[in-house]
Chain A
Amino acid sequence: MPADVDALVLSNDRLSEAYNVVGLAAPSIAAAAQPGQFVMVREDRPGAPLLRRPFSIFEILRDDQGRPTGISLLNKRVGVVTGALYAREPGGRLQCLGPLGRPFSVGTPPAEAWMVAGGVGLAPFATLAEALREQRTPATLYYGGRSASDLFHVDWFERRDIRVVLATEDGSRGEAGLITGPLERHLALLPAAAPLMIHACGPTGMMRAVAQLAQASGRATEVSLEPVMGCGLGGCYSCVVPVRSGPATPSQLVRSCLQGPVFPGHQVAWNELAPAV
């Protein structure tokens, strides 16, 4: 059952001109959150945008005893609400409804988990990385961006024993090119019998490429889609995405707030999926 928390802003870590991480006091959301779930956020001030915007839960914040106290959001400033999240100083408040949506599956050994992130698509993978570590599931993060200044928290993942593979389009960090480059090579090297789940979040084109690469090598994927959302609770039918239950069945528009945001990659009708706005 989701809670609506008038959350105190605990911290605002501005990572660059565009990216920041906001820490929010929200114990009830933190305690219930599962990897890949999201919250619907709005500012409660006159003149603020009316509708909430979806954000993946980035980290679960904990006190000294390890009890969940809040969540953080990885934010990229692009519009009004993301601009407000970027500007909000500690001591301010943000209204946070959640946790919402279907989470990632958390694989157990001997399976491996590969997480493929593009830009701000890193957001759902911190909680997944922690859950995988708890299961002792070997995990790799494939993380791509336009340039080195788009990549954050790499050491955060490394400290949690996640193998990290980086790629930037301009070659300023990691391999030059798209993150699907190393992913494809590593897929080819992996013994067919080794169980693997690939999780992807990022630009639609990247997720589509990951899903297709994986399918070509017989691997399962989960993708976290990020369509425009109105309510997050299944009330408005605006966040629909085309999915198929079988390869030959026609696609159906289903609500990503309820049936997603995490979907099996092979079920998404990528040709019909409008690019995220």
Chain B
Amino acid sequence: MSSINLTVNLGQLQLKNPLVAASGCFGYGTEYSDVVDLSTLGAIAVKGLFLQERPGHVPPRIVETPSGMLNAIGLQGIGVRRFIDERLPALRKHRAVVIVNICGTTVDEYAELARILSDAPGVAALELNISCPNIKEGGITFGCDLRGAHDVVSAVRRATSLPVIPKLTPNVTDVASFARAAEEAGADAVSLVNTFLAMAIDVETRRPRLSNVFGGLSGPAIRPIAVRMVYECRQAVRIPIMGMGGIMTAEDVVEFLVAGADAVQVGTANFVDPFVWPKLLDGLTGYLERHGHGAVRDIVGTVAVPGAAQRISS
């Protein structure tokens, strides 16, 4: 066992390591208990939950694109009460740290979800999905409007003492301003990025490849943009950041940490290699040893940008 300190703090929430399963890419967590020891993950952000059950979109729901994929699942889900009754007990048994990703169509729904989950044993934090590109109502409409983002975060803040982590969309001009709005509204941390709104067409049939027409782009294709956005947010806010977008290897984990993320989330990589988790942790530990660091937090935000702050904005 190495003596490296892998723990990270996300406000009130301490994680044993910075590796978190990204929402929607790991089911409700229990699906993966056969292939991963769930207690070894920093945390699991479970699939997005509404108050009610949702059927989701008609298939096809995914399509592969160069170095990535589009998805339009449409937040199919069992609703918060069934999650608490049917999934949370098993997650607790596996000693998983559970971050519940919540989604509403109104500010009140987010607050109601927060209240319900505050009373459920075994919830470590709330991730506010204000960034799903795949549903018409709610979600991203809050994430693309500074006022809306502020209102949702402060309403949830008032409704719960759990850590509140809004998840930001990259489908805005200036993601850092949303991180700032979240911080001002009392968020404990922010996570970013959700998927990029995208479209793919079958040129033979000239039809969209997804039934929903649009889908969210994830995977390695988005990584450089996500890294840039994490870096920008790091310059803009003091609260911790969970960075994600296209992480496949330990090197990618380090890239996000160095850009300014305190922890990272891993989504699409689970589909490619469900056994990726110990590889990421070993690789991260190896990197820290190789560079003589005793703790993960030693490398957070350490990217050396010549003449930082005066970035060229041509």
Interface residues of A (CB under 8 A from B): 1-2, 4, 42, 49-52, 97, 227-228, 230-231, 233-241, 252-253, 258, 272, 274, 277
Interface string of B9-43 (1 = CB under 8 A from A): 00000000000000011110001101100000000
Contact of A4 among B56, B62, B69, B274 (CB under 8 A): B274
Distance A231 CA – B59 CA, assembled complex (angstroms): 15
Distance A66 CA – B69 CA, assembled complex (angstroms): 42
Distance A252 CA – B76 CA, assembled complex (angstroms): 11
Given A51-B272, A231-B271, A235-B25, are A240 and B59 also a contact pair (CB < 8 Å)?
Answer: yes
Distance A258 CA – B31 CA, assembled complex (angstroms): 9
Given A4-B274, A231-B270, A253-B56, are A238 and B73 also a contact pair (CB < 8 Å)?
Answer: yes
Contacts of B220 in A (CB 8 A): 50
Given A50-B64, A237-B73, A237-B76, are A253 and B55 also a contact pair (CB < 8 Å)?
Answer: yes
Q: Are A236 and B59 in contact (CB under 8 A)?
A: no
Chain B residue nearest to A51 (CB atoms) is B64
Distance A235 CA – B64 CA, assembled complex (angstroms): 16
Interface centre among A228, A230, A253 (most CB of B within 10 A): A230
Chain B interface size band reads 20 to 34
Distance A49 CA – B68 CA, assembled complex (angstroms): 9
Q: Are A228 and B24 in contact (CB under 8 A)?
A: no
Distance A49 CA – B61 CA, assembled complex (angstroms): 17
Chain A residue nearest to B59 (CB atoms) is A274
Distance A1 CA – B33 CA, assembled complex (angstroms): 9
Tell me the minimal C-beta distance from A98 to chain B in angstroms: 11
Q: Are A50 and B59 in contact (CB under 8 A)?
A: no
Q: What are the nearest 6 A-B pairs in CB distance?
A: A234-B31, A231-B271, A238-B62, A238-B61, A235-B27, A1-B34
Interface centre among B24, B56, B76, B272 (most CB of A within 10 A): B272
Chain A residue nearest to B73 (CB atoms) is A237
Q: Are B272 and A4 in contact (CB under 8 A)?
A: no
Contacts of A42 in B (CB 8 A): 272
Contacts of B274 in A (CB 8 A): 4, 97, 231, 233, 235
Q: Are B34 and A2 in contact (CB under 8 A)?
A: yes
Distance A228 CA – B64 CA, assembled complex (angstroms): 10
Contacts of A231 in B (CB 8 A): 270-271, 274
Q: Are A236 and B24 in contact (CB under 8 A)?
A: yes
Q: B194 interface residue, CB < 8 Å from A?
A: no
Contacts of A233 in B (CB 8 A): 27, 31-32, 35, 274
Given A1-B34, A235-B31, are A230 and B55 also a contact pair (CB < 8 Å)?
Answer: no
Tell me the minimal C-beta distance from A71 to chain B in angstroms: 19
Chain B residue nearest to A231 (CB atoms) is B271
Contacts of A97 in B (CB 8 A): 274
Q: Are A236 and B60 in contact (CB under 8 A)?
A: no
Tell me the minimal C-beta distance from B267 to chain A in angstroms: 9
Distance A66 CA – B177 CA, assembled complex (angstroms): 65
Contact of A1 among B35, B56, B63, B272 (CB under 8 A): B35
Tell me the minimal C-beta distance from A112 to chain B in angstroms: 34
Given A1-B35, A50-B219, A51-B271, are A236 and B25 also a contact pair (CB < 8 Å)?
Answer: yes
Contacts of A258 in B (CB 8 A): 31
Interface string of B263-300 (1 = CB under 8 A from A): 00000101111110000000000000000000000000
Q: B302 interface residue, CB < 8 Å from A?
A: no
Contact of A236 among B67, B68, B71 (CB under 8 A): B71
Given A50-B268, A253-B76, A258-B31, are A237 and B61 also a contact pair (CB < 8 Å)?
Answer: yes
Q: Are B47 and A228 in contact (CB under 8 A)?
A: no
Contact of A274 among B55, B60, B73, B273 (CB under 8 A): B60
Contacts of A52 in B (CB 8 A): 271-272
Q: Are B25 and A277 in contact (CB under 8 A)?
A: no
Q: B249 interface residue, CB < 8 Å from A?
A: no
Tell me the minimal C-beta distance from A53 to chain B in angstroms: 9
Q: Are A230 and B62 in contact (CB under 8 A)?
A: yes
Distance A274 CA – B210 CA, assembled complex (angstroms): 12
Contacts of A234 in B (CB 8 A): 27, 31
Interface centre among A97, A230, A237, A274 (most CB of B within 10 A): A237
Q: B4 interface residue, CB < 8 Å from A?
A: no
Given A97-B274, A235-B31, A253-B55, are A51 and B69 also a contact pair (CB < 8 Å)?
Answer: yes
Distance A230 CA – B268 CA, assembled complex (angstroms): 9
Contacts of A272 in B (CB 8 A): 58
Tell me the minimal C-beta distance from B311 to chain A in angstroms: 31
Distance A2 CA – B274 CA, assembled complex (angstroms): 10
Interface positions, chain B 44-74, Cβ under 8 Å from A, are 47, 55-56, 58-64, 67-69, 71, 73
Contacts of A238 in B (CB 8 A): 59-62, 71, 73
Contacts of B271 in A (CB 8 A): 50-52, 230-231, 235-236
Q: B5 interface residue, CB < 8 Å from A?
A: no
